[in-house]
Structure 1
């Protein structure tokens, strides 16, 4: 019997009517496999995943395929977003076995959970034939399977260990420059990003490159980052009609995405574009921020201030069938009827031509490849007129699109992703000064503390239908700590720093492995999986250990805590000798810059401390950690520094401060 109707996950509920006898991952399901001595199928996906839907329709809705699965296997469905721990462990196994990974992810395991075979998407016949072979092998020669499982388990254990580094790493700026030279060889200087498809946005990569380019006056690198942000914003990947980015582009020019819109991408990208806007004042960056946050507020926010997880890639087409991109794509005749006499201009702006063509049936996904300035000049029209026309066209298309069947919503709220979006709103507030963004950020912070932080001190991972569940993972703690530190910077309310410190101390109690000197992904209060998992490499989301190390660096300064600094430094020292492809360690390289001689701390002790802090944060000065107070403070970094009726600004480096200045402008001059 299919048991998924008991679950709250939108992804699991999508499979609740399959003829497969799905179970959720829980002690009862795992115990059932051992009791019956049956192989386990662990099938992992997420609600917005297009190819997950395809495999469901082709295979899991098929009676014959279900019969094979039900007769000989315990079938377990996992929402990778609810259980990133399970996903991470079995994804490692898939990558060892096949050299690649992705979703849907399907693994066959022994009754004790050790994997023996797996992959990603499978066609029905291949799936059924392989399952039959595995069943026969387990019945007739189980020792062969058990031996392979044990070797694979040993491999998983080995790659879970952090490489030892008993000597000083010798990693310095010269080493970093060599890595950057290697990195630059993969840059796409026509469309930005990397010279490969599919193209993922990798916000942590460009956040680091932007900072490094700025601090080292590397104009070529800065131009490359600017090119990348411009091309990503030009459309296809970015929904110019209603804001928000899809997960990745299948082509080199950021044109045709897999159309799911994920909260975590949009939170990080808003932060990235906010930093870029502070540096460049490029109006396109501002447009991206405003459209994206409007989309989040309108489509992905619940009544208590939480942010939903995703919109699906698929939506119903005119024939009432689920189709990828149906909501976002356009046909020529439809556009001609909507835009009327402006259609030639519209076509030039949004490439209703070979460049913008998507696939058969004359479908187009809107994409720009020229600036509005170029088009206005070429057509001898006023730029402001063209800007207004573009806004008008987008409104016309928005109104039309609102009558289409919308993509399905994944309405669970994940703590880690909420924190990423919370930080996005804070960073947008820093860059643009829109008070609405701060209000939304504060409401979301209250949602996290009230709904997802228990009296026992632990965070919960998931909120759905008014209920919070699943003990939090390291990703939940590290991103909430990071967001609370950012919230302190724009409010100067020390409560957010003490909350961040309390969560960090909880992580030392329940996640820190003193032998590895890193933080495990799962709490020591949770049931162990087949191997431990330390998230080290940055991906589309920064690794939880790299975020935690950066957090500890900042908290060590605020609270003058040498232990935090020591742990952060040791983590970095273990990682740096192993950096060969820097794109997977971009957030660790941010930490390297934090520990460098270029980093500073600024204590603002003035009657108008908050106003001064916001002036400072409106500029792009990524190498300065900021604190401030308008009264006597007990925060160790600020203690005994405030003097009534005086404005004192302390610029510090490596625990040593200059004599206080009484003019903020003089601080800016020193830093510039």
Structure 2
């Protein structure tokens, strides 16, 4: 019997009508495998995953394949977004066995959960043959399979270990400079990003590189970051019609995306483009921010202010055939019919030519030049081109809305909601749109009211009115980060106190004094086959690197040396072993926090909030902001407020200059 109809995950529910007797991951399912001495199939995917849908259609919906699985295996379906802990552990096994990873991920395990075989996508025939061979081997020679499982388990444990660096060599600014120079060799100076395909956006990488370029006055590096952000915004990766980024580009030029739109990408990218806009005032970046947040508000927000997880890569064609990108692409004939006499000009701007062609008569819109460059080249008025572009996008939007939309993953994940919350706050700081702050506050209330249990722990997922799954470190670290950012934008100290409360909970239930890092799962959760520490930054920064950055700020606000020393110990173990900096960019961000270039700023006085928002319109990544419009007991602000004065305290390492009463001079002193 298929048990997935009892679940709330949209991905698991997609499989609820398969002939496979799927079970969810829970103690009952695991106990059943042990009691009946059955091998376990762990199949991991997510709702927006194109190849997950392909394997479902080809294999899991097939009665012949299902019969093989049902007869001899306990088959467990896992939503990797609901259970990132399970995904991380078994992904390590697949990477050891095959040298690569991805989704769908399929692993066969002994009845005790230790993996013996695995990979990603399999065709029906290969899948059935392999399962039958594994079952036969387990019955005829179980010792061989158990021996392999033990060796593989040892390998998983080895790569899961955190090696403390007691006497590591010193990591300093010159070491960082050398790493950045090495990093530059992988840059694509034509289209931005890295010189490889597929291309992922990697917001944490460009957030760090933007900061480093600014603080070190590295104009070449700054040029590269702006090239990357511009080309990403021009490419089909960004939906210029309705806003929002897809997960990655399958090619070198950011042209053809893997069409799913994920909340976590868009939250981080709004923050990144907001920072870049502060520094450059590039109107393209403002357009990206505004379109993306309009998309999030319209398509990925529930009535309580929670943010949904994703839109699927696949959507239905006019023939009701599920096809990747069907909702987004255009034929030349469609565009001619919609745009009429403007088609030729539209074709120049959006490359309805060989450069913009995808496949099977379909085009994905991509710009290669700015409207100003095109206006100059074709003797057009640039303001008229901007008006035309806006008009065309509205026409295409109206037409596209008649199509069948991609499927929605409507679960709300705490970590991803926090990333998007921070995106709205950062956009508010950059653009001053009060609606963005209101949406951030609404989402913060959604998290505190629905996903923060009375016992003090967060919950990971909210869907269909149910709050499920004890939270992971990623949930705590991103909520703390978002609440600190919300404090900076409102000066409401309750957000700092919430952050401190959550950080202290992490010390109680996640911190491992033997490694000096936080484990990914809480000590109140059932253990998996190995302990997982998330250390490498990827498309989402590692939860430990985010915690290090959080603890740095909380140490300042609350004058807490333990927070500071913990962050420094974490950095001390990571930094000396960095070989490829792209996988540790958020750790490098934390390193810059502890540099001599960082400052703390207290803005005190009746106009504190208005003044601090003026300051935060500038790109000042090396400043920790704080302020009050009345006396405060917050340790960093205590005794700084003086009635009738607006004061600016610039501090470093617990030492402050005499306060200034001049906003402009204070701002100039903070800039590089």
TM-score, normalization by structure 2? 0.99
Whole-Å separation in 2 of the counterparts to 1:65 and 1:469: 32
After TM superposition, list the pairs within 5 Å mapping 1:520-531 onto structure 2. Answer: 520-531=519-530
Whole-Å separation in 2 of the counterparts to 1:340 and 1:375: 20
Whole-Å separation in 2 of the counterparts to 1:166 and 1:420: 34
Partner of 2:417: 418
Deviations 1:328-383 (A, max 9, x none): 000000100000000000000110000000012x1001110111111111221110
Whole-Å separation in 1 of the counterparts to 2:168 and 2:604: 38
SS at match of 2:64: helix
Whole-Å separation in 2 of the counterparts to 1:248 and 1:334: 26
Partner of 1:113: 113
> 1:563 aligned to 2:562?
yes
How far is 1:167 from its partner? Answer: 1.3
Partner of 1:48: 48
Partner of 2:669: 670
Whole-Å separation in 1 of the counterparts to 2:654 and 2:269: 33
Whole-Å separation in 2 of the counterparts to 1:165 and 1:341: 67
Deviations 1:466-490 (A, max 9, x none): 1111000000000000000000000
Partner of 2:581: 582
Work out whether residues 43 and 104 of structure 2, in 8 Å CA contact, stay in contact via their aligned partners in 1. Answer: yes
Whole-Å separation in 2 of the counterparts to 1:137 and 1:514: 42
Partner of 1:611: 610
How far is 1:168 from its partner? Answer: 4.5
Partner of 1:402: 401
Deviations 1:134-166 (A, max 9, x none): 001100010111111111111111111112211
Partner of 1:189: 189
Whole-Å separation in 1 of the counterparts to 2:663 and 2:650: 10
SS at match of 2:358: strand
Deviations 1:35-58 (A, max 9, x none): 110100000000000000000001
Partner of 2:538: 539
After TM superposition, list the pairs within 5 Å mapping 1:4-403 onto structure 2. Answer: 4-360=4-360, 362-403=361-402
The 4+ residue runs of structure 1 with deviation greater than 2 A are none
SS at match of 1:358: coil
Deviations 1:82-119 (A, max 9, x none): 00000000001111111100000000000000000000
How far is 1:459 from its partner? Answer: 0.3
Partner of 1:644: 643
Return 201-210 or 371-380, whichever deviates more: 371-380
Work out whether residues 419 and 482 of structure 2, in 8 Å CA contact, stay in contact via their aligned partners in 1. Answer: yes
Return 164-173 or 540-549, whichever deviates more: 164-173
How far is 1:312 from its partner? Answer: 0.2
Whole-Å separation in 2 of the counterparts to 1:238 and 1:665: 37
Whole-Å separation in 1 of the counterparts to 2:344 and 2:164: 63
Work out whether residues 235 and 253 of structure 2, in 8 Å CA contact, stay in contact via their aligned partners in 1. Answer: no
Deviations 1:374-406 (A, max 9, x none): 111122111011100000000000000000000
How far is 1:669 from its partner? Answer: 2.1
| Runs (5+) with no aligned partner, structure 2 | none
Work out whether residues 168 and 576 of structure 2, in 8 Å CA contact, stay in contact via their aligned partners in 1. Answer: no
Work out whether residues 169 and 576 of structure 1, in 8 Å CA contact, stay in contact via their aligned partners in 2. Answer: no
Work out whether residues 491 and 628 of structure 2, in 8 Å CA contact, stay in contact via their aligned partners in 1. Answer: yes
Whole-Å separation in 1 of the counterparts to 2:289 and 2:226: 15
Work out whether residues 238 and 245 of structure 1, in 8 Å CA contact, stay in contact via their aligned partners in 2. Answer: yes
SS at match of 1:76: strand
Deviations 1:420-472 (A, max 9, x none): 00000000000000000000000000000000001110000000011111000
Whole-Å separation in 2 of the counterparts to 1:76 and 1:443: 36
What is the root-mean-square deviation in Å for CA atoms of aligned residues?
A: 0.6
Work out whether residues 169 and 573 of structure 1, in 8 Å CA contact, stay in contact via their aligned partners in 2. Answer: no
The size of the alignment, in residue pairs, is 671
Whole-Å separation in 2 of the counterparts to 1:604 and 1:372: 41
Whole-Å separation in 1 of the counterparts to 2:566 and 2:363: 52
SS at match of 1:461: strand
Whole-Å separation in 2 of the counterparts to 1:444 and 1:543: 23
Whole-Å separation in 2 of the counterparts to 1:604 and 1:168: 39
Work out whether residues 18 and 60 of structure 1, in 8 Å CA contact, stay in contact via their aligned partners in 2. Answer: yes
Whole-Å separation in 2 of the counterparts to 1:49 and 1:431: 33
Deviations 1:479-513 (A, max 9, x none): 00000000000000000000000000000000000
TM-score, normalization by structure 1? 0.99
SS at match of 1:210: helix
Deviations 1:596-655 (A, max 9, x none): 000000011111000011001000010010100011100000001111112221100111
Whole-Å separation in 2 of the counterparts to 1:392 and 1:546: 44
Partner of 2:623: 624
Return 641-650 or 95-104, whichever deviates more: 641-650
How far is 1:235 from its partner? Answer: 2.7
